[in-house]
Amino acid sequence: MRHHAQQATDDANVAYHEGLSTATGLPNGCADIVTCSQSLHWMDPQPTFAEITRILRAGGVFAAIDCGWPPTIGWEIDAAYRAFHERVGHLEMRHNVSANVRKWAKAEHLNRMVASGGFRFTNELLLHQVESGDAVRLVGLARSQGNVAALLKHGLSEDEIGLTELRQAAEKWLGNKTKPWYFSYRVRVGVK
């Protein structure tokens, strides 16, 4: 991901460095803002928050952004996606493709931030955004989900994981027409 970001960035004020959420290698108090998008649930909370508060200056802000998934499109396609997601979850467990992956519940992010003791103020914001999409985009987004990619890499077919059914439902309800999609985001904010 860093390699792709570097290739796409043509700004002398932007630099990329190797690091972990628990050991960034950055100096104390060097950051006004620290953010992560769709990723805090993969990070060990306590050492991550310790590192975040170490690199934030006094009054600096941490923001963890999580997208509610899937976007709201229309009840028919939303129901088809929910059925697909449940099927993928069962297959993920049955084939043990994520057994060594540790994940923390997103719903507890704010509580863990408070419990860290590193922030003098915390809050959760709910934001919304309207985008447009068609059947091809929905199937592409479904394929990009980590558990879907893991099952495909494990050797399961699109038919087995239900991607073919989702594609058919998306083509039926969306076709090649672009329709509005409603995304919701939860942003957990902490001020040092």
Q: β-strand 179-191 against 31-37: which pairing, if any?
A: unpaired
Average pLDDT over residues 95-108: 89
Q: How confident is the model at residue 101 (pLDDT cuts 50, 70, 90)?
A: confident
CATH number at residue 56: 3.40.50
Residue 23: strand pairing partners:
20
Q: What Rg, from alpha-carbon coordinates, does the chain have?
A: 19
What pLDDT is recorded for position 116?
A: 97
Using the predicted structure, report yes or no on whether residue 40 has a pLDDT greater than 90. Answer: yes
Planar angle of CA 5, 106, 48, nearest 5 degrees:
60
Using the predicted structure, report yes or no on whether residue 77 has a pLDDT greater than 90. Answer: yes
Q: Computed from CA positions of residues 106, 110, 116, 118, in that sequence, does the dihedral angle turn out positive or negative?
A: positive
Average pLDDT over residues 65-70: 92
Which residue's entry shows tokens 């860093």? 2
H or E element: which one contains 33? strand 31-37
What pLDDT is recorded for position 99?
A: 78
Cβ contact 128:183 at 8 Å: yes
What pLDDT is recorded for position 51?
A: 98
Query: Is pTM, for the whole model, over 0.75?
Result: yes
Which residue's entry shows tokens 């999609």? 181
Q: At what angle do helices 135-144 and 163-173 cross, to 10 degrees?
A: 150
Residue 126 in tokens? 């709910």
Using the predicted structure, report yes or no on whether residue 94 has a pLDDT greater than 90. Answer: yes
Percentage of residues of the chain with pLDDT beyond 90: 83
What pLDDT is recorded for position 150?
A: 92
What pLDDT is recorded for position 17?
A: 87
Q: How confident is the model at residue 15 (pLDDT cuts 50, 70, 90)?
A: confident
Q: Provide the number of structural domains found in the chain.
A: 1
Q: How confident is the model at residue 22 (pLDDT cuts 50, 70, 90)?
A: very high
Domain span at 101: 2-191
